[in-house]
Structure 1
């Protein structure tokens, strides 16, 4: 049933007459935002209020014919509910009404008692829907500086700009006011109520000033803060990648609030991000990139609220890259849905169409390789370490075991040899092993919620690291007695010493992560019991620590063991003495580790047999070379047929010739010549042909499911399983991969868990999908570059290395670092769309190279709302004329 008085009030606030063309009707959002909170009696009183003309209860009572006492009570309720503003003026409370936005939509959404409202979701939807209703008709008719909300640049971004004005400085507004409050962000409150939050939380985000602060404090919408606290909130917002906007209806240099906004939930920023009507909200500034300084680290791209920045390239090309010139704008073109970006919350792009540097693209974690190389070249090793840790909390570990996908695609390799990226990273990461120089991230929040990580390997530890830096109470449950997972138990110390792993895990302890080893979840404690202890989400990253068998005759003989089990026993320090001839089955990196470890525990001779030819072997080339250097014999293109035994003990193995490994479609389907066989004597056989998961009772009673290959089913992007509070990643989800892949999924899981444990947050909206692609190297012009010899570490003789479990490989010297970092071509650079940019300056806070700056392009000032109408009318007429002229010109050109 429609409340006619409330409908009348909606029309009054909208400044439209009933029965007119623009009349507000019951299905309009202006009515729907009022309907859940305004009674007929309240509406009668509210209809007596005036726009921005404060009135006392006595004045209102005389207009509506009610007693002062009754009128005062209802006016106060209207203020509480957000339908009237109140201030004490000359010792008397006075009330008035405002515009919808910025105004009543925000104050109603920020209701101090939202839980008591019968349909708060309707209110949230009304705020969101109002923008959809109004934004399209504003296209091109609000000149720069006249929109209802306006971006104010981050002040440090314009400090060197001589043309800046005081109304462009956040500090001006804070210093000129004496009363401050802070409240929840109304946009994010609305999004959250609809289940569409973006992970940027609403609490303590928006600052009110002067009369607005008084209203917010008195009605319980905000809490009183000092000027110093206001500055701290501004600083914290900037550190979290947020931007500033102000309500822009009070006139030049005046505002009653400073909002700290994100591009993925803010309704004002949506005018730019979705409707592409950027002039309506922009500041006077635009960003510019100095490509000579830029290293394509991507930090600016990640925080740009409107995706105006993307990674590109700066190397010369054979075919010039022509940037598409924007000719259609909201002020000169009919601006319908074909000009909008409807999916702006999910289709964010990191890279321009023509691609960016291959090192960042090919790294599974998309670490800013160019960035940390540049910082290292400047001797800024701790800053380089900080940059790496934005995506990889274990650089010292990865510096020793990384597959170096960045190097394999390095553009420098097309000139001479790839940059020794991994050795540079290893040198930088040495800082992490020293307690005096290590980088421990600053805790950004203090959420305090309890999260359980099941599995203390690289993926679980990565997830724990990023959750801990976000202020969560994280506990890692590890069923083994030691932490590190396959880093500790599957990788030999001569490749990755335990001190290195433990040093980086110690940083997690400094961040407050709790570790419970020798505890198997599912056996010693269940997920249900952990929920009872207050854990709100789980990350399952148990790895692939189960060795696979071959399924052939004699496999149960004494002396046959999986390579995974063998490495675990050795790494745990358990007695594992091998004697005689050892056969290792498998051709991957783990098989190489098994073979090299066997030589160190007493084997007199080690033979590896694998299905693949030498070119097809999955092991890295350098791993193969190191194995050969330690006198390990690799026998290619042979598959096991049966194991020979005597009295239950292995004595040998029969192999058959492998003709091919893959079928025509590239699927694993080996073909053998059964007539070509050979028998090899062996006292022990170590099987390293793959790994699996041991789930035991971990998932018992949950809705999480497994795939046919025993990996867990989870969403490929969010990593959420069929059990909503259980997320999974690493090898348990993907199957065996490299540590860096597991680390990357750990970070993504942390992002999902952060969103999951806060009600109303979407797991996908506003999230970086990290979709990278490299430029076409065939189109590069690489002539003219010096051929600089790649720096190398000293070679370790196999005869020496196989005698110890110590890692004998050296690290670059500072002189080598200086020389090697100079070899980087600096392939990539950030590009900026000057129209899309709204001049917030968030990009400048992340750039460590002074490569991106704000420059003043416009000279617009705010216009008081009372003076705005003639400006809009004039702009509307001018826009119609421009559009008509362009249409005529197109027709004339077409017909001539």
Structure 2
């Protein structure tokens, strides 16, 4: 039933009942109010008659209720049972002889929440979800600025992670979850989260699935079970729920409306959907829910890994910098509070779900983390490596990159290019440290295999199909599997790896390195279906029929691009990527003879040139449009090519391939005078009178790559750009076909492996939200934006850092000369520790005490004992009955008004 239908005919008894239960001061309920239409669809007039005979939050026996509503005991009992299932009333046995009592609760926490907890009911009456949302918000719009720390008996109250509470005499029993578990020993029930369900039904889920996360205690446990809202649980199940909640970044909260030493539930709340947390965040009044504690950081211990920031539910922890500027330490802004300021809608944060996901202050943080496309916690794993905690370092890396060994071999090292240490002497050898850590993966006994369960400790049922076993596809599969999804990867080649296997020569990335990290995915339970080309051997529609609920297309840019000149179809002209694939597939039987010209100046072109030498070419010449300084290839790769006597001719573009009898004999180049226009658009200009001819037997073209689609997307709504990449949302990677997502080179065009890995992780989040209907793909999404600090404005004293020189790896030698083996060595353990000491540690977490709610989740994520809770708001642990809330609010309100007036007068 639609809300407008409920409002069409006024039902007086429902009006009266809504007016009776509401705690919106001064509101006269009409059919347009949630107090009316939230009840009208599920509450009959006869039920309303019964409820109107009850007092709000006052226990009554069956006989007392029957007498008040003037109905028979039998009929009253039947109605009360129906009303309990609906969620309009609750009951308990809190009296000397344990007889059953019925209670008409407030709307929140109470009727509105209990009505949503009835899963079937809220699906049939979605207006109930809106009802709960509005009754969690509207009564508090004016009162929240006047609420003292702890909530004054309104709603819920944060209780810290127990391990985060410092062992001090000031700590009181009610601040510990263990106290409440012991108090209600042997009487627990667990059920689905009503807030998560409400937001999903409203289409505003943020990826936090409703599951069995709410723990009812005491008589509430019996109520949940008897009304079909939950099941009984023992202490082991409850402890497992609490542990998983902490692992997933959910905030523990207890009910705070029944006075001292009494609760009826422990909830595990996600800030993107929780009404209690939402209220304090929406109105920018954290007093509504905060605990007696606040977090603070010890900067000397902090390494800006960002784990605490990622899990902070309120955006109180953000990344900043540790090093001083030339003007002294950076002063970070603190959130404005209503303590001494008039407060109204202009002070609210209606976009709090998105704003809480801002990870970094505008002034920036460590450049290494900022520059990395996957934003690896560089300082963190360097610090762990320096302590010899290599498996912990590997685990930390894998929070953002499942393939550190692969990246250690082929990474483009943007982190090192940005490293603050490079402004002093030389950048920290970040990639070499990562490579050393990642060598753990090469030893099967040392591999880190993550858990593959969801927040409920089990598997999701929705099957996900990944098409393409390259870095983007396997990254998405890894993170989806970590969330507990059954995942299968479809790969048309015989072996997984994609372009990192088929497009990178083994002297840069050996197959056993790839296989070691792929083996981790196998051990996680990811299925590999190799030799299957989707579109040819099976279609996406057929996969849908097999039960796959979402698809991630990441087939890479596996085709070469043509030059568009005469002669390029001659025998001896080969696309560079096809040449590499042929060599990588069978290097023993793949040969090339004679003089070889490689057209192109990127990293792939360098790989092609160096591979051609190893495959038998008598001499190799590279020719590219760019001058030496502008070549897109990495400097170290250019140097390696020159060391192998490969000739590089810069600022020339191909004009014509010369042939004789259909066979290549040479290639003519013309002088390139400009590669790009002033605006940066690619538009080469040539001097047609200045040409160069190179005689050769082979031309290997490496001027770009293209996506080869085959029949993969036939019959779908997927749309392509003119360059054959896919049109998709830039944040979610969702295509015009809602269940198809894309990533890696098919979306961006050719980039580096680390870019594809980062894209795979983002796609995981989108797919997770998509397969659970009712979740927004964008709302409250962590966009992971990390601006870099200003390196030119740092005051770095010479005696503040280790002045040791950058460590260097020594190349192995091979008596046979050029080889397909990777001859690059790895740091020794001693070198790792020396190099790690060169890190300036320029980033750090900064906590805004005005936003912190003292949940303690940050402390559970820190590997460095750098963030702690302190008990500095003891009054926040005072518990009051809801009926007594004004006793706390009035004194606080009066003090606040005096402060505001004094500030204004001053």
The answer to whether the aligner puts 1:405 opposite 2:414 as a matched pair is yes
- What is the correspondence of 1:253-652 to structure 2 with a 5 Å cutoff? 253-323=261-331, 326=334, 328-347=336-355, 348-445=357-454, 446-573=459-586, 575-652=589-666
Residue 112 of structure 2 is matched in structure 1 by 105
Matched, 1:819 2:834: yes
Is the 8 Å Cα contact of residues 560 and 684 (structure 1) preserved in structure 2?
yes
SS class of match (1:26): coil
Partner Cα separation in structure 2 for residue 518 and residue 369 of structure 1? 37
- Residue 54 of structure 1 deviates from its aligned partner by 2.1
| Deviation for aligned residue 1:726 | 0.2
| Residue in structure 1 matched with residue 892 of structure 2 by the alignment | 875
Secondary structure at the counterpart of residue 237 of structure 1: helix
Which residues of 2 match residues 827-846 of structure 1 at below 5 A?
A: 827-846=842-861
Conservation of the 8 A alpha-carbon contact between 2:334 and 2:849: no
- Change in Cα spacing, 1:129 to 1:800, as seen in structure 2 (3 Å) is farther
Q: Is the 8 A contact 1:365 1:740 kept in 2?
A: yes
Query: Contact 1:80–1:112 at 8 Å: present in 2 too?
Result: no
Q: 1:852 to 1:814 in 2, by over 3 A?
A: same
Corresponding residue number in structure 2 for 1:703: 717
**Matches of 1:93 and 1:380, distance apart in 2:** 58
The CA deviation at 1:159 is 4.3
1:840 deviates by: 0.3
Post-superposition Cα deviations, 1:255-314, rounded to whole Å, max 9, x if no partner, equal 110110111111111123221101121000000100000000000000111000100001
Whether the aligned pair in 1 keeps the contact of 2:318 and 2:360 (CA below 8 Å) is: yes
**Counterpart in 2 of 1:235?**
243
Query: For 1:159 and 1:229, how far apart are their aligned partners in 2?
Result: 26
Alignment partner, residue 707 of structure 2: 693
Report what 2:3 is aligned to: none
| DSSP-derived class of the 1:766 partner | coil
Q: Distance in 2 between matches of 1:561 and 1:498?
A: 24
Cα drift, residue 781 of structure 1: 1.0
| Greater displacement, 645-654 / 55-64 | 55-64
Shift of 1:803: 1.9
**579-588 or 314-323: which moved more?**
314-323
TM superposition shift of 1:26: 1.8
* More moved, 719-728 vs 266-275: 266-275
Range moving further from structure 2, 144-153 or 504-513: 144-153
- Cα deviation, residue 241, structure 1: 1.2
Structure 1 length-normalised TM: 0.97
Q: Structure 2 matches for 1:160-309, cutoff 5 A?
A: 160-177=167-184, 178-309=186-317
The superposition leaves residues 839-863 of structure 1 with CA deviations (integer Å, 9 ceiling, x where unpaired) of 0001011000000000000112111
Q: Deviations over 1:200-257 (max 9, x none)?
A: 1111011000011111111011111112211111011001111101110122232110
Change (3 A) 1:27 1:331: farther
Instruction: Tell me by how many angstroms 1:701 deviates.
Output: 1.3
Which SS does the other structure have where 2:341 is aligned? coil
RMSD over equivalenced CA pairs, Å: 1.5
Give 1:796 deviation, angstroms.
5.1
Change (3 A) 1:87 1:832: same
CA pair 606-132 structure 1, distance change in 2 beyond 3 A: same
**1:790 matched to which residue of 2?**
806
Q: Is the 8 A contact 2:811 2:823 kept in 1?
A: no
Given the alignment of the two structures, is residue 888 of structure 1 paired with residue 886 of structure 2, yes or no?
no
- C-alpha separation in 2, matches of 1:499 and 1:754: 31
For residues 817 and 462 of structure 2, what CA distance do their matches in structure 1 show? 48
**Mapped contact 1:587–1:612 kept (Cα < 8 A):** yes
Counterparts of 2:895 and 2:122, CA distance in 1: 48
In the other structure, the counterpart of 1:893 is: none
Aligned counterpart, 2:22: 14
Asked whether 1:75 is paired with 2:91, we answer no
Contact 1:166 1:253 in 2 (8 A): no
Question: Which of 653, 668, 676 is equivalent to 2:682?
Answer: 668
Greater shift in the superposed pair: 163-172 or 54-63: 54-63
1:81-117 Cα deviation digits (max 9, x unpaired)? 1111123564643211112211112101111532673
Q: Secondary structure at the match of 2:528?
A: strand
Inter-partner Cα distance in structure 2 for 1:373 and 1:586: 36
Partner of 1:50: 55
Structure 2: how far apart are the matches of 1:407 and 1:91?
Answer: 69
Find the counterpart in structure 2 of residue 894 from structure 1.
none
- Structure 1 residues not aligned, in runs of 5+: 890-896
* Cα distance in 2 between the residues matched to 1:632 and 1:160: 66
Q: Is the 8 A contact 1:296 1:828 kept in 2?
A: yes
Superposition deviation, residue 508 in structure 1: 0.5
Residue 11 of structure 1 deviates from its aligned partner by: 1.1
Q: Map 1:732-771 to 2 at 5 A.
A: 732-771=746-785
Deviations 1:453-473 (Å, cap 9, x if unpaired)? Answer: 000100000000011111111
Three-state SS of the structure 2 residue aligned to 1:353 is coil
> SS of the residue aligned with 2:141?
helix
How far, CA to CA, are the matches of 1:342 and 1:802 in structure 2?
Answer: 66
Residue of structure 2 in register with 1:26 after alignment: 31
In structure 1, the residue matched to 2:44 is 39
CA distance in 2, matches of 1:91, 1:879: 44
Q: For 2:144 and 2:85, how far apart are their aligned partners in 1? A: 34
User: What SS does the corresponding residue of 1:615 show, helix, strand or coil?
Assistant: helix
1:346 alignment partner, SS class: helix
SS of corresponding position for 2:216: strand
Distance 1:247 1:507 in 2: 43
8 A contact 1:614–1:636 mirrored in 2: yes
**Closer, same or farther in 2 for the Cα pair 1:175/1:463, shift >3 Å?**
same
Corresponding position of 1:131: 136
SS of the aligned residue for 1:452 comes to strand
Q: Please report how far the alpha carbon of residue 885 of structure 1 lies from its aligned counterpart in structure 2 after TM superposition.
A: 2.3
Name the CA shift for 1:628/1:344 in 2 (closer, same or farther; >3 Å).
same
Q: Provide the rounded CA distance (Å) in 2 between the counterparts of 1:163 and 1:94.
A: 38
Give distance in 2, aligned partners of 1:327 and 1:542: 46
Q: Does 1:864 align with 2:867?
A: no
Alpha-carbon distance, 1:325 to partner: 5.7
- Tell me, yes or no, if the aligned pair for 1:139 and 1:331 is still in contact at 8 Å: no
In the other structure, the counterpart of 2:6 is: none
Within 2, Cα distance between the matches of 1:161 and 1:323? 31
Normalised to the residue count of structure 2, the TM-score between the two structures is 0.96
Q: Helix, strand or coil for the counterpart of 1:7?
A: helix
Residue 21 to residue 176, structure 1, CA distance change in 2 (3 Å): closer
**Number of residue pairs matched by the alignment:** 883
CA distance in 1, matches of 2:585, 2:119: 57
CA contact (8 A) 2:323 2:329 kept: no
Contact between 1:599 and 1:802, CA under 8 Å: does it hold in 2? no
Once residues 815 and 708 of structure 2 are traced to their aligned partners in structure 1, the CA distance between those partners, rounded to angstroms, is 37
Report the equivalent of 2:103: 96
* Cα distance in structure 2, aligned partners of 1:5 and 1:15: 18
